[in-house]
Chains A and B, each alone.
Chain A
Amino acid sequence: MSDFLAAQDSAGHEHAQPRSDQNRSLWGDVRYELMRNPVFWVSSVLVLVILSMAFAPQLWAETSPTARGACRLENARVEPSAAHPFGYTNAGCDMWSSLVYGTGKSVIVAILVTIGTVIVGVTLGTVAGYVGGFADTVISRVTDIFFGLPFILGALVFLAIFPDRNVWTLTAVLTMFGWTSLTRVMRGSVISTKQKDYVDAARALGATNFFIIRKHILANSIAPVIVLATIGLGAYISAEATLTFLGVGYQRPTVSWGLLVAEGQNLALAGFWHLLVLPCAFIVVTVLSFILLGDALRDALDPRAR
C-alpha cells in the first residue's frame, strides 16, 4: 500500500531554494533541506518518542500491564479521570501502560519487516537492474507473481495456519509479501543510475562490477528506497494491527494495539468509548509520524525538487 506514495507528490515542491553553497554533497543538501523543514522536526520528535516507548517502556509507564497484580478487575472499564487520564482496560489494567507496553510489539515487528524487505529488495533490485537479461526476467516475473496476491489476504492465509503466532512468524509472513514494491523501486532506480556517465568512467578506469555496485550504484540509487522504507514502517505497523484485529496476529495475553481495538470495538458501542478511541489514537499518531517523516525525506531527497 505504500507503493503509490513513493511515486507521487514530487510535483509539489519545485519552488525549492537555489543552493546557497555549490560545494555541498548530495547528502549535505539533504541535511540542509531537512533542517529547514518543520514537518521533519515534528515527525522525527514523534518517531523518537515512539521508539523510546518501544524499546524502553519503563521510562513512560511504571508498571507493565502483564506484571503480577498490575490489573485489578474492580477497575475494569473505569473511564478516564484526573488521576488516570487514560482510564482502565476491560481487564482492569491501566490503559496508558497497556498502550505504552503495546508499542514495542507493533514497532519491533515493523522494524524487523522493514529491515528484511530492504535487504531482499535492495539485493534483488540491484541484481535485476544491474545484471539485467535473464536474471532481470526471472526476478521481475517472480515479483509479478507475488504482486498478484493481495497483501492482507495473502498474509492472512499463512498466519491462519500457524497455531501460535509471535514476533517472528509475523515478521516472516509480512516480509514475504512486502518485499515486492521495494524490489521494483530499487530495480528502476539502479537502471537509471547505471546509465550515468560516472559509471562508464569507473568502468573505463578498470573498476570491477562489485566495486561499481558498492561505490556508485548503491549510494546513488538508495534514496527512493529510504523514502519508501520509512513510509513502509508506518504501513507495517498498520498491517500488523489489522491482522491482529482480524485475529491472525498477536494473541492474548500479549498486550498489543490491535487486540485493544478488537476488544474495545463492541464495548465502545456499549458506552465505553475510551476503550476504542485511545488505542486508535495511538495507532493513527504512530502511522502518521512515519508517513510524515517519509514525506519530509522525499522532499529532501527528490532531485527533481532542486
Chain B
Amino acid sequence: MGRYVARRLVQFIPVILGTLFLLHVLSVLTIQIVGDPVRALFGENAPPEAILEQLRANYNLDDDCLEQTGNPCVRLFVDRLAQYASGDFGINFRGRSVAELFVERFPVTVRLTVIALVFETVVGIFLGVMAGLRKDKLVDNFVRFSTVLLIAFPVFVFGTLAQLFIGLELGLPLRDSERAPEWLGQMLTVTYNPEFPWLSLMLPGLVLGAFSLAAIARLTRTSLIENLRSDYVRTARAKGLTSSRTVGVHTLRNSLIPVVTYIGIDIGLLLGGALVTEGIFNIPGVGQLVFLAIQANDTPVILGVVTILTVVFLVANLLVDILYAALDPRIRYE
C-alpha cells in the first residue's frame, strides 16, 4: 500500500504541472489572438495609454510574449507557478485578492458539494442495488427509465425548474403557513439563507447531485448484475451463506469499485455544476464568484478561480485513487 501511494504521488506531479501549463498556454494563446482583456474592458471608449499600461502591469498582462502569437510564454508560466506556490492567484478588477475571495466563499461550496455527494451516493447506490437485484422487474424498469430521464436534464434546466416548481410553488405556501414546520419551508427554498446554512442548501444540493445520482445508480446496477453471475458468488451461495451476506459482503464490495472511480471523475462535474447551481440559487460560494465574474467580464477572477478549482479537483482525484487501492487489492500489487 505504501509503495502504491508513493508511486501515485510521483505520477501526480507531471499531471498537475501539465494541467496548469495547459491552462496557461491556452489562455496565453487566446490573449495573443483576441487581444488583451484590459483593452476589452473599456469597449470603444479607449482610456489614455498610460492607464492601460498601469492596468496591464497590475494584472501581469504586460509581458512582451503576450504579443507574439504562438509563443507559449514559458517564463511567464514559471513566474505564475511561483506566485501560485506562495498563494497568490491574482487580483480581481477591483483590486481584491482572488485567493482571499476564494477562501471566504469556499466553505459554502464545500457544504453544497457534500450534500450533493452524500445524496447521490446513498440514493444512487440504493437504487442501483434495488434494480440490480430485481433485474427486468418493475423496480428495475422504473430505475432505468427515471435515470435516463435524469441524465437528459442539464443542471441549469433542472435547477431553474426546481426553483420554480419546488422552491416557489411548493415551498412558498409552506414558508407562509403557520402550521408547517419552519425547517421544511427552508429546505424547499428559492435562494440561500445564511440563517440556515445547511437546510437552505438542500434543494440546490439535490439538483447538483441529480445527474450523478442517475450515473451512480446505473453503474451500480450494471456491475452488480455482472458480479452476481460470477463464480465466487455461486460458491458463496453453494456454501450456504445467506443471501444478504452474499450480496452485502461479497458482491457489493466488488460492485462498488467502478462507482468509486466515477466519484473521482464526478468531483470535476460537481465543481462545474456548482457554478450553475450557485448562480441560480444565489448561493455565495465559489461558483457564484465565477458566475458574477463572467457577467462583469472579470477575466483574472475566472482564470484564478478555475486554476484553484482544477488543483482541488486533481487532489480530490488523487485521494479517490488511493481509496480505490484500499478497496481493490489487485490495484496495489499491479
Contact = CB atoms under 8 A, between A and B. Distances in A.
Contacts of A162: 30, 34
Interface in B143-159: 144, 148-149, 151-157
Interface stretch (B49-57, B67-75, B94-102, B271-279): B271-279
Contacts of A285: 152
A261 B295 CA distance: 16
A142 B302 CA distance: 24
Given A148-B310, A261-B156, A268-B160, A245 B276 contact: yes
A150 interface: yes
Contacts of A241: 154, 156-157
Nearest to A155: B272
Contacts of A104: none
A141 B157 contact: no
Interface in A248-306: 248, 258, 261, 264-265, 268-269, 273, 276-277, 280, 283-285, 287-288, 291-292, 295
B222 interface: yes
A231 B163 CA distance: 28
A126 interface: no
B290 interface: yes
A151 interface: yes
Interface stretch (B21-29, B84-92, B110-118, B233-241): B21-29
A291 B214 CA distance: 13
B65 interface: no
A145 B310 CA distance: 11
Contacts of A150: 268-269, 271-272, 309-310, 313
A152 B271 CA distance: 9
A153 B156 contact: no
Contacts of A248: 294
A262 to B, nearest CB: 8
A247 B276 CA distance: 11
Interface stretch (A4-12, A93-101, A192-200, A207-215): A4-12
A8 B265 CA distance: 15
B164 A161 contact: no
Contacts of A292: 148
Contact of B164 (A12, A246, A276, A295): A276
Given A161-B34, A288-B152, A9 B306 contact: no
B122 interface: no
B185 to A, nearest CB: 16
Given A151-B272, A153-B272, A264-B160, A11 B218 contact: no
Contacts of A158: 26-27, 30
B40 interface: yes
Nearest to B266: A4
Nearest to A239: B154
Nearest to A304: B226
A7 to B, nearest CB: 7
A5 B151 contact: yes
B215 interface: yes
B108 interface: no
Given A148-B18, A153-B271, A246-B279, A269 B164 contact: yes
Interface string A143-163: 011101111111011101111
A145 B20 CA distance: 9
A179 to B, nearest CB: 13
Interface string B231-255: 0000000000000000000000000
A261 B164 CA distance: 12
Contacts of A149: 19, 22-23, 310
Nearest to B313: A150
Contact of A246 (B14, B222, B291, B309): B291
B193 interface: no
A63 interface: no
B295 A157 contact: no
B40 A287 contact: no
A234 interface: yes
A234 B152 contact: yes
Contacts of B16: 148
A283 B156 CA distance: 11
B170 interface: no
Contact of A283 (B35, B154, B222, B275): B154
A152 B302 contact: no
Nearest to A286: B152
A238 interface: yes
A49 interface: no
Contacts of A246: 156, 275-276, 279, 291, 294
A4 B215 contact: yes
Given A4-B265, A148-B314, A160-B302, 17 more contacts: A1-B269, A8-B223, A12-B225, A141-B14, A145-B19, A145-B21, A153-B271, A153-B309, A153-B310, A157-B27, A157-B303, A160-B299, A161-B299, A163-B35, A241-B157, A277-B161, A284-B157
Interface of B: 14-16, 18-19, 21-23, 26-27, 30-31, 34-35, 37, 40, 135, 144, 148-149, 151-157, 160-161, 163-164, 168, 190, 211, 215, 218-219, 221-223, 225-226, 258, 262, 265, 268-269, 271-273, 275-276, 279-280, 290-291, 293-295, 297, 299, 302-303, 306, 309-310, 313-314
For the complex of A and B, 10 pairs with smallest distance between CB atoms: A152-B272, A150-B268, A148-B19, A145-B18, A288-B152, A238-B154, A11-B225, A287-B152, A8-B222, A161-B30
26 contacts: A5-B151, A8-B218, A12-B222, A12-B225, A141-B14, A148-B19, A148-B314, A151-B269, A153-B271, A153-B306, A156-B290, A157-B27, A158-B27, A160-B297, A163-B34, A245-B156, A246-B276, A264-B160, A265-B280, A269-B163, A276-B160, A280-B157, A284-B152, A284-B153, A285-B152, A287-B153
